[in-house]
């Protein structure tokens, strides 16, 4: 890496170099059309090909069948905090939420504006240092849906398997781990993911929704807020984030070319293990911030040093050595190394070398 650094940013985050170069190559004149993707009509034949093939590749990667719709919407994951309850809470108007971090809390805030929210599991009293266990969940079999956050970007916890929720539709904010491994989409009613952590630029959000849930979307909803409208219009009710969707398509192609999600998962396991194994062996110098080993995230590795002064020094020396974006979120402190799909294994190895040297010197 001559002119690029090791970018551990939590989001917007590192994207695959091959994809950046391909987009650069296409940027000025997209495949001989004489214009860039950003300059072409979203109703043109060329763009129709781009969005259709992005959808097809999303379906291929996650093996999504026709009973699910795939949407590319705007407003990031944050707008989904509102769209999910507005569309899916009726007619029962009560939903279960699992509170595992800052993003879950924001989702709950919006849901409460729509109907009755029950927090069916929470580790807030432990500052979200682990996930609630299945047996701790107090699920309501009559709830409209159960909402959970698959990867807690800020705290560094991640579900290894979905919570078991019976026949109630499962809704997932997968913004920071979508496509990190294959998941069984049929277990879900709805999955949403803001793109800027693992699949593309910010602003665009991928939504996968089971079509039978569309019955719940009322005609009285504001048009943009209604999933049914977006499904009927193939994500083209209004002008989509054309460049964002194009970019997600390129990232999907990159994943497919590199062996799909099983190969990606193996790489993610290898990367995270290098860091966690070193931490576990470092005799309380680098202390994992997550209290239950099983809950440790493969995407956001959080850890502490023996003192805040050392953490400050660590961050500043790391920056000087070309490791950027490792400062933990203000609500947890410490260090956070975000190692999404596009983060190279050699960057993780170099970082652990840096950690070893830092420990030896301090
Ligand atoms: C980043 C993030 C969000 C917010 O995404 P926006 O695109 O900024 O709305 C929501 N949920 C999770 C889990 C995130 O990591």
Q: What is the pLDDT of residue 303?
A: 97
Do 169 and 294 fall within a single domain? no
Q: Which residue has its alpha carbon closest to ligand 1 atom 2?
A: 175
Q: What residue numbers bound the domain in which 42 lies?
A: 19-257
* Integer Cα distance of 56 and 71 in angstroms: 11
Residue 1 covered by a domain:
no
Q: Which domain-ending residue is among 257, 286, 301?
A: 257
Nearest to 13 by CA among 320, 329, 324: 324
Do 94 and 155 fall within a single domain? yes
Q: Which residue has its alpha carbon closest to ligand 1 atom 14?
A: 175
pLDDT tens sequence across 133-142:
999 999 999 9
Summary mean pLDDT of the chain: 97
Q: Among this protein's residues, is 312 annotated catalytic?
A: no
Do 336 and 242 fall within a single domain? no
Tell which wins on pLDDT, 126 or 1: 126
The pTM for the full model equals 0.98
Nearest to 341 by CA among 78, 54, 13: 13
Q: What is the 3-state secondary structure (H, E, C) of 183-250?
A: CCHHHCCEEEEECCCCCCCCCEEEEEEEHHHHHHCCCCCCHHHCHHHHHHCCCCCCCCCHHHHHHHHH
Q: Which domain-ending residue is among 222, 257, 292?
A: 257
Q: What is the pLDDT of residue 2?
A: 59
Q: Is 322 exposed, middle or buried (0-12, 13-18, 19+ CB in 10 A)?
A: middle
Do 27 and 117 fall within a single domain? yes
Do 75 and 218 fall within a single domain? yes
Say what percent of the chain tops pLDDT 70.
99
Residue 274 covered by a domain:
yes
* Integer Cα distance of 135 and 121 in angstroms: 10
CATH number of the CATH domain containing 186: 3.40.640.10
Average pLDDT over residues 72-80: 98
Residue 198 covered by a domain:
yes
Do 300 and 222 fall within a single domain? no
Cα–Cα separations (whole angstroms), residue 135 to 120, 125, 132, 294? 11, 17, 8, 15
pLDDT tens sequence across 147-182:
999 999 999 999 999 999 999 999 999 999 999 999
Do 339 and 357 fall within a single domain? yes
Q: Which residue has its alpha carbon closest to ligand 1 atom 13?
A: 175
Average pLDDT over residues 82-91: 98
User: Is residue 51 scored above 60 in pLDDT?
Assistant: yes
* Integer Cα distance of 252 and 202 in angstroms: 16
Do 191 and 339 fall within a single domain? no
User: Is residue 46 scored above 90 in pLDDT?
Assistant: yes
Average pLDDT over residues 239-267: 98
pLDDT tens sequence across 25-39:
999 999 999 999 999
Do 49 and 134 fall within a single domain? yes
Do 286 and 165 fall within a single domain? no
The number of distinct structural domains making up the chain is: 2
Q: Among this protein's residues, is 65 annotated catalytic?
A: no
Do 61 and 105 fall within a single domain? yes
Average pLDDT over residues 115-125: 98
Q: What is the pLDDT of residue 3?
A: 80
Cα–Cα separations (whole angstroms), residue 108 to 85, 210, 331? 9, 22, 18
Q: Among this protein's residues, is 18 annotated catalytic?
A: no
Residue 282 covered by a domain:
yes
Do 186 and 296 fall within a single domain? no
Q: Which domain-ending residue is among 236, 257, 278?
A: 257
* Integer Cα distance of 60 and 262 in angstroms: 13
Binding-site residues, ligand 1, Cβ < 6 A? 11, 76-78, 103, 149, 153, 173, 175-176, 194, 197, 202
CATH number of the CATH domain containing 297: 3.90.1150.10
Q: What is the pLDDT of residue 151?
A: 98
Average pLDDT over residues 206-233: 98
Residue 229 covered by a domain:
yes
């Amino acid at each position: 890496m001559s002119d690029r650094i090791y970018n551990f940013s939590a989001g917007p985050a590192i994207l695959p170099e091959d994809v950046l170069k391909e987009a650069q190559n296409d940027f000025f004149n997209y495949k001989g059309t004489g214009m860039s993707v950003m300059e072409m009509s979203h109703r043109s034949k060329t763009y129709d090909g781009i969005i259709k093939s992005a959808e097809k590749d999303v379906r291929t990667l996650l093996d999504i069948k026709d009973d699910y719709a795939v949407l590319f919407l705007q407003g990031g994951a944050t707008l989904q905090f509102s769209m999910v309850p507005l569309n899916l809470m009726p007619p029962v108007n009560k939903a279960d939420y699992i509170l595992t971090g800052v993003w879950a809390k924001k989702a709950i805030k919006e849901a409460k504006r729509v109907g009755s929210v029950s927090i069916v599991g929470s580790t807030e009293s432990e500052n979200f240092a682990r996930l609630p266990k299945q047996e701790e969940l107090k699920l309501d079999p009559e709830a409209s849906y159960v909402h959970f956050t698959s990867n807690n970007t800020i705290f560094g916890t991640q579900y290894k398997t979905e919570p078991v929720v019976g026949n109630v539709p499962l809704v997932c904010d997968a913004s920071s781990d979508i496509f990190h491994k294959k998941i069984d989409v049929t277990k879900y009613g709805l999955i949403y993911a803001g793109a800027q952590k693992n699949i593309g630029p910010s602003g665009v959000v991928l939504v996968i929704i089971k079509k039978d849930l569309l019955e719940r979307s009322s005609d009285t909803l504001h048009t943009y807020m209604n999933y049914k409208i977006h499904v009927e219009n193939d994500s083209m009710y209004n002008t989509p984030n054309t460049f964002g969707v194009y970019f997600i398509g390129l990232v999907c192609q990159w994943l497919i070319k590199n062996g799909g999600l099983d190969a990606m998962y193996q790489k993610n396991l290898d990367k995270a293990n290098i860091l966690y194994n070193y931490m576990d062996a470092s005799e309380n110098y680098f202390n994992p911030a997550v209290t239950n080993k099983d809950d440790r995230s493969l995407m956001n590795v959080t850890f502490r040093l023996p003192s805040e002064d050392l953490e400050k020094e660590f961050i500043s020396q790391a920056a000087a050595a070309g490791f950027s974006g490792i400062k933990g979120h203000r609500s947890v402190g410490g260090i956070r190394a975000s190692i999404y799909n596009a983060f190279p294994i050699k960057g993780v190895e170099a970082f652990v070398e840096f950690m070893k040297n830092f420990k030896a010197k301090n």
